[in-house]
Every structure is written in C-alpha cells, then in structure tokens.
C-alpha cells in the first residue's frame, strides 16, 4: 500500500465508511450462517442432497457435486461443471446448508440456460482479473513522474474492478432467487424454514454489495486524489 495512504486524510474520508460496511456485512453473514447452521430442516436433507434436487429439477444431471475444504468456500466452477460445497454444507441437513447449496446450484442453472449476467461477467473477467493491479501501478508511476496520460489510463484499468463487482451483484441476487424458488417448488424447506434460508442468502449478498461500495469509494478516491484539485504537484 503506498505510503501516502497513511497520511492522506482524504483516503480515510473515502475509505473508512466503506470499510465499516464491509466489516458489518461480514459479521452479518457469519452471524446468520452460524444461527441457521444449527437449525436442522424437517426433511433432513443435506446440502449435497438439496443441490442435487435443484439440479434434477432443471434437468442438469451431468453436473457433479463435490466436497471442498474450508468454511463458506462453496462455489460453482463453470469450467469443470462442478458444484463444490464446504464440509458443513455438504454433510449437514441444516437450513443454512440447504440455502447455500441451492444458491450454488442456481449458478449452475444460470450457466446452463445462458443467463445474460453470466455472459457479461465472463466477458470482462480477463481484464478485471489483472487490469486493476496494473492500473494502480500505472497510476502511481504517472503521479510520481507527473504523466497525466498514465494516471487516467491507470484509473480506467482500475475501474474494471468496480465494473466486475457491479455486474456480479445481479448475478448473485438472481442465483438466490432461483434457489429460493426451487426450494419452494421442490418442498426442500417449509415456509418458516425458507425465511431462515432467505436471511442467510440476503446476508451473503450484502457482502458483495459492501465490497462493491468499497471498490467504488477507492475508485472515487483515485479520481479526486490524482485528477482533482487535491492532487499534489
């Protein structure tokens, strides 16, 4: 992290509120997960069985479900067409496990049906993976040598991090909607249990919102700090 971050009040003015939101979102999702991970569903289906039920409902019998190490490491890998669930989700018949597993199965359904948000996110993934770090490097070099072209180009590259997170939001919310609809239609959870699963998925979605806001505030800081009136000559 560049040393001027530690001494520039403008940095803290922009980033502290966003950082607070990130911390709140992380506490929220952990609290919701821990609560409903201890509440078992009436049907007693594990996360693996719930994900399989969602996949079967969509006719996606070819997608595998595997266990992956860690906590809250659940994800869908579109390259190998595999849903990977953490041990607590894979093996446990809890409301949280059913909700999270169904959400990951929702991502599999998105890919299989050609959901537009997935296509947009995949299109910008290559540049959003490496562009932001390169952008910060170019921005700082441009600032040190007073080269405005590098500064603007660096900011433009960094903005792809925000764009990627912005596109990710509807993808995540859509996967949760698909999950909750499938849970209801297949009877995986009762109405009361679905309310718990919804709380877990909503809390998880808020972590994406908080991360996006943090990136947005960082982007705005770069714009104001390096191109605005506060820029140091």
Q: Quick check: helix, strand or coil at residue 29?
A: helix
Q: Quick check: helix, strand or coil at residue 54?
A: helix
Cα gap 45→157, rounded to integer Å: 45
Among candidate residues 49, 66, 88, 104, the one labeled active-site is 104
This prediction's pTM: 0.88
Active site residue 66: no
Asked if 84 and 68 count as a contact pair (C-beta separation under 8 A), the reply is yes
Show the low-confidence residues of the chain (pLDDT under 50). 1-5, 229-233
Q: Could you tell me which residues come within 8 angstroms of residue 119 by beta carbon, excluding any fewer than 6 positions away?
A: none
Q: What is the pLDDT of residue 44?
A: 95
Q: What is the pLDDT of residue 16?
A: 87
Q: What is the pLDDT of residue 232?
A: 46
Q: What is the pLDDT of residue 168?
A: 95
Q: What is the pLDDT of residue 7?
A: 66
Angle at 91 between CA 90 and CA 97, to 5 degrees: 60
Asked if 233 and 143 count as a contact pair (C-beta separation under 8 A), the reply is no
């Amino acid at each position: 992290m560049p040393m001027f971050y530690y001494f520039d009040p403008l940095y803290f003015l922009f980033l502290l509120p966003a950082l607070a939101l990130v911390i709140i979102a992380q506490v929220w999702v952990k609290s919701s997960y821990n609560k409903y991970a201890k509440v078992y569903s009436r049907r007693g289906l594990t996360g693996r069985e719930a994900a399989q039920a969602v996949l079967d409902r969509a006719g996606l019998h070819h997608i595998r479900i595997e266990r992956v190490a860690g906590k809250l490491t659940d994800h869908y890998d579109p390259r190998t067409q595999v849903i990977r669930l953490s041990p607590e989700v894979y093996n446990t018949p809890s409301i949280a496990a059913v909700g999270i597993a169904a959400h990951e199965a929702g991502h599999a359904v998105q890919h299989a049906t050609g959901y537009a948000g997935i296509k947009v996110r995949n299109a910008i993934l290559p540049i959003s993976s490496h562009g932001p770090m390169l952008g910060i490097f170019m921005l700082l070099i441009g600032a040190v040598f007073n080269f405005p072209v590098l500064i603007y180009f660096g900011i433009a590259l960094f903005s792809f991090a925000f764009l990627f997170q912005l596109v990710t939001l509807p993808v995540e919310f859509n996967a949760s909607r698909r999950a909750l609809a499938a849970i209801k239609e297949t009877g995986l959870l009762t109405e009361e249990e679905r309310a718990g699963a919804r709380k877990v998925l909503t809390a998880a979605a808020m972590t994406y919102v908080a991360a996006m806001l943090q990136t947005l505030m960082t982007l705005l800081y770069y714009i104001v700090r390096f191109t605005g009136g506060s820029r140091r000559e």
